[in-house]
Amino acid sequence: MRTVDQELRLGFLGGLVLLLACLMAARPFDARAQARPAPRDVVPAVAEGMKPPPASPERSAADLAFPVPAVSLAAMFDSFKDPRGLRAHHAVDILAPRRSDIVAVTDGTIARLLSSVAGGIGVYQFSADRKYCYYYAHLQSYALHLREGQQIKRGQILGYVGTTGNAPAHTPHLHFAITRLRKPNQWWGGEAIDPFPILKREVSSGH
């Protein structure tokens, strides 16, 4: 049998190992975060007609097509911070007629085709540099032959606007979210980014 002293020592060592593991896991992530330019650094360069850095990791979040071409910006609501249940909404909703085309906002890969209770029929798409994930939800249906792992181009049809999941039956809309990945190839659990200012800027500037 272990003495109380031994138990305490074991507990202390276990805690130390955990702390070290956390520190080691956190360090490379922080280093990357510091090395990365902030999104605002990229945008003025584009606005002034300068060539943006070719491999900027923020580029894929900033250069996006509007995901429902049939409707205008007025159909989009900045509801990123709206409380929905226990958490914030962390997405924009774009009202559109049922079966309107939903297109990829940028080049990339289909990460996951997933039907869920809340989101209904949904698409998770990685950006080409795999730094970001885009989520399109409440689809009526997927585009024909869409599959996981498929390479897609900006503007390619992913599916059609609907009300699947918890969308009100008479309010077809696209729920669109952007996350910055925390781990490679992990389409869930990323850091939420507000799509509203990004999409608004892109459409206003004629992209």
Binding residues for Zn ion, rule: CB under 5 A, are 91, 93, 175
Least distance (Å) between residue 154 CB and Zn ion: 22
Question: Minimal distance in Å, beta carbon 89 to Zn ion?
Answer: 6
Please say which residue, 17 or 88, places its beta carbon nearer to Zn ion: 88
Query: In this structure, which amino acid lies at residue 142?
Result: Y
CB of 3 to Zn ion, least distance (A): 57
Which CB sits closer to Zn ion, 110 or 177? 177
Q: Which is nearer to Zn ion, 93 or 107 (CB)?
A: 93
Cα–Cα distance measured from residue 4 to residue 172, given in angstroms and rounded to the nearest whole number = 63
In the complex, the smallest distance separating the C-beta of residue 97 from Zn ion, rounded to whole angstroms, is 17
Position with the least CB separation from Zn ion: 175
Residue 79: closest CA among 173, 147, 169? 173
Cβ closest to Zn ion, residue 47 vs residue 88: 88
Beta-strand runs (E) in 53-131? 76-77, 83-84, 87-88, 92-95, 101-103, 108-116, 120-127
Q: Closest distance between Zn ion and the C-beta of residue 26, in Å?
A: 32
**Distance from the first to the final alpha carbon of the chain:** 71
CB of 104 to Zn ion, least distance (A): 19
Q: Which is nearer to Zn ion, 79 or 109 (CB)?
A: 79
For 32-50, the DSSP string reads HHHHSPPHHHHHHHHHTTP
Q: Based on CB atoms, which residue is closest to Zn ion, 57 or 119? A: 119
- Strand ranges inside 60-206, DSSP E: 76-77, 83-84, 87-88, 92-95, 101-103, 108-116, 120-127, 132-142, 151-152, 157-161, 173-180, 191-193
